[in-house]
Amino acid sequence: MKRFDYIIVGAGSAGCVLANRLSEDGRYRVLLLETGGSDRSIFIQMPTALSIPMNTKKYAWQFETEPEPHLDGRRMHCPRGKVLGGSSSINGMVYVRGHAGDFDEWQQAGAEGWDYAHCLPYFKRAEQWAFGGDEYRGNEGPLGVNNGNQMQNPLYQAFVDAGVEAGYDATADYNGRQQEGFGPMHMTVKQGVRSSSANAYLRPAMARANLTVQTGALVHKVLLEGKRAVGVRFERAGKMEEVRADKEVILSAGPIGSPHLLQLSGIGNPDTLKQAGIGVLHPLPGVGENLQDHLEFYFQFRCQQPITLNGKLGLWDKFLIGSRWLLRKDGLGATNHFESCGFIRSKAGVPWPDLQYHFLPAAMRYDGREAFAGHGFQVHIGHNKPRSRGQVTVRSADPREAPAIRFNYLSHPDDVEGFRACVRLTREIIGQPALDAYRGEEIQPGASVQSDEQIDAFVRSAVESAYHPSCSCKMGTDALAVVDPQTRVHGLQGLRVVDSSIFPTIPNGNLNAPTLMVAERAADLILGKTPLAALPAEVGLAEYWQEKQRPRAPVRALA
């Protein structure tokens, strides 16, 4: 049996960070196992091609949920990366840390040491911000972060201006002091290429003699001796292999894969394991519970000027965009096209933003297909602090059988109310003078959707996952916590979970940035290093949050 000091399961956003940091000083033998294969594809590396790997079986687990009872029984698409870089190689590359309050919320939930002041230095350590470092931003890290094409399309700035006219603030850097407001959006792109966890962290480390990376490896279970994890069993090229960890096994298989693998290993809720025919080796009722995700829908409008990306969807235009990117790594091929955004609060009494906007100067679906003939634009909007909770549940002892996934979307009335606010507040923003020269007919939801009942019916039929599953192996100390604040699985030795599954609650934003931060900090904890000192930076929190939903009255009231 081959022996390593650390075995990492999953070469995704977190796993690549850990592989780099744990092998950095050369003292430890590190094995990184990944079921998928190489990320050397133009469709992964070219930012504008983001819809392709997400919808390709070669690069992503194409999971589907169980019928969601509050979404008209629909099964929701839940892709997860199956390639070096994991979901950072198939995602939309949007870089949002979340609000400072999200991480203070983690600490209040029992994740001691994971408040914003202790997380901020690890956000900074990870990133290389294109516009230089400051109190909030890092400029020496491996992860490239920029603003794509600097909002060259006039629709981007028009959306920001409309937000200000609607009574909200402008924010120059939502990852800095103040998240709330409208401004440029950031993306994980470096020199025109996707800055995935594989590109940023893994590839520079792969030449190290003490790091072994094995692709095509399907892990069947964690091997336990009593209450200690001693290795893993995996299948590769049709053969079963076992490897031993002299120090620790670390699961970084993601919010679906990590709880599923724990359950396959006999770790979880005893009733769940028995129903799947799996022996109970370590009862831990929270495994797979507390599952959370963001939902969103597209607010789509026709555009009165021929300046949108809908005019660039022909084969010749795609060829020109791709050719320019191959030769120069710039132009429309070098951006994810989400270059402006907004973060607002859904109502007075909400202390920090719970709604997020991604603006796109096109009207199209996530799979890249046109929404309608002609020019259009859309804004993705979602309620980002859901109270609905779901589960990931093993079905059988066969690791190839996908687990049952149920988010229970919109099962909490606060989430339903949040989406009503999404519809009404967005119409007010899009209706401001800044967009008068561009705004045409409202295609979706459509002007006839007005009452609570009509909005609720539209949302049930139209919302999609924002692809942010998380929280299914939550960190904390309560009865449903799976890992402690050191990321160690409760009640076991030599076993940790490090990925977005350990978030206690979901942040207000996309999840790649906080996942990388978690892995950066966890690496120090695993190595026994003193964590980086807290940075008590000032946080922009609206003084009026209890009384007002926004600071000023809109220029034009909602009709």
Provide the 3-class DSSP secondary structure of residue 304.
coil
324 is in an annotated binding site: no
27 is in an annotated binding site: yes
90 is in an annotated binding site: no
23 is in an annotated binding site: yes
CA dist., res. 247 & res. 311, Å (int): 56
Strands 228-236, 217-225: parallel, antiparallel or unpaired by DSSP?
antiparallel
Q: Beta-carbon neighbour count of residue 279 at 10 Å? A: 10
Q: How far is CA 371 from CA 92, 308, 365, 431, 444, in A?
A: 18, 13, 6, 21, 10
Please give the torsion angle defined by the CA atoms of residues 202, 204, 210 and 212, in that order, rounded to the nearest 10 degrees: 40
**H helix or E strand, kind and range, residue 420:** helix 413-430
459 is in an annotated binding site: no
9 is in an annotated binding site: yes
In the chain, what is the greatest distance between 2 CA atoms, to the nearest angstrom?
Answer: 71
138 is in an annotated binding site: no
Q: Which of 152, 145, 144 is nearest to 201 (CA)?
A: 144
6 is in an annotated binding site: yes
31 is in an annotated binding site: yes
17 is in an annotated binding site: yes
13 is in an annotated binding site: yes
22 is in an annotated binding site: yes
5 is in an annotated binding site: yes
24 is in an annotated binding site: yes
20 is in an annotated binding site: yes
461 is in an annotated binding site: no
10 is in an annotated binding site: yes
Amino acid making up residue 252: S
CA dist., res. 192 & res. 423, Å (int): 34
Q: Using DSSP, how many helices (H) and how many strands (E) does the chain show?
A: 14, 24
CA dist., res. 406 & res. 469, Å (int): 11
Catalytic annotation present for 468: yes
Contact 257, 15 (CB under 8 A): no
| From 220, 383, 468, 490, the catalytic residue | 468
Long-range CB contact pairs, 52-55, < 8 A, 24+ = 52/368, 53/83, 53/89, 53/90, 54/79, 54/90, 54/91, 54/366, 54/467, 55/79, 55/366, 55/367
* Known binding residues for FAD: 5-34
Q: Catalytic residues, which ones?
A: 468
Binding residues: 5-34
